[in-house]
């Protein structure tokens, strides 16, 4: 039995070697000179073309030096002065619209408006209240006149499907503008 297995193993090895040799011969036969005639013709055509000239580099124009003269200019490394007074002057330049920074901020002003979700309404003593869910998963009850969002958003109307706000947003340096937005019912 062992002789039969050895014979079979050696025959299989010979067959594999013979098959690999035939495959190698077939691959090498594809590399004959006859298949490259068109490539040889193309290469001779390219070599026969007249050679082009390389354009010279463009003339480099000299850059005139700039001399910085700081006389009469403010030193950029020194403080402007009282920053609160400068900010107050900028605010007073505007169109008169500005946020009331002296009032106490409400809880929902700590959250950006896009992180707040209206989840419903409730009527208490004939007043419609809005229910707002903050990003900390707390549900707050709001009414007209409350503030919410980072842009001084004052609630101007509460409907069953949305809460309308009037925000005060910065416009140009030192000016503010009012912008109406709403918070739609999501749940």
Give me the CATH number covering residue 121.
Answer: 2.30.30.830
Instruction: Let me know if residue 124 belongs to a domain.
Output: yes
**pTM for this predicted structure:** 0.49
Q: For residue 70, tell me if it sits in a domain.
A: no
pLDDT digits (tens, 9 = 90+) for 55-66: 888 998 898 888
The number of folded domains in the chain is: 1
Encode pLDDT of 73-97 as tens digits. Answer: 777 787 776 544 555 555 455 567 8
d(CA 1, CA 24): 35
Domain presence at residue 14: no
Range of the domain at 145: 103-184
State pLDDT tens for residues 97-111: 888 888 999 999 999
Cβ of 19: how many Cβ atoms within 10 Å? 10
Question: Is 177 contained in some domain?
Answer: yes
Give the integer Cα–Cα distance in Å for 170 and 34.
Answer: 79
């Amino acid at each position: 039995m062992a002789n039969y297995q050895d014979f079979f193993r050696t025959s299989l090895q010979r067959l594999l070697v013979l098959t690999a040799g035939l495959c190698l011969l077939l691959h090498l036969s594809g590399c004959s000179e006859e298949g490259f005639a068109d490539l040889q013709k193309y290469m001779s055509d390219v070599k026969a073309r007249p050679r082009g000239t390389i354009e010279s580099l463009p003339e480099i124009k000299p850059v005139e030096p700039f001399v910085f003269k700081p006389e009469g200019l403010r030193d950029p490394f020194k403080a402007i002065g009282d920053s609160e007074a400068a900010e107050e002057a900028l605010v007073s330049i505007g169109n008169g619209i500005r946020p009331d920074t002296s009032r106490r901020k409400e809880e929902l002003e700590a959250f950006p408006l896009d992180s707040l979700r209206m989840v419903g309404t409730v009527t208490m003593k004939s007043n419609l209240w809005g229910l707002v869910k903050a990003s900390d998963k707390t549900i707050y009850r709001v009414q007209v006149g409350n503030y919410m969002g980072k842009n001084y958003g004052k609630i101007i109307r509460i409907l069953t499907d949305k809460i309308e706000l009037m925000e005060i947003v910065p416009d140009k340096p030192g000016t503010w503008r009012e912008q109406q937005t709403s918070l739609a019912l999501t749940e």
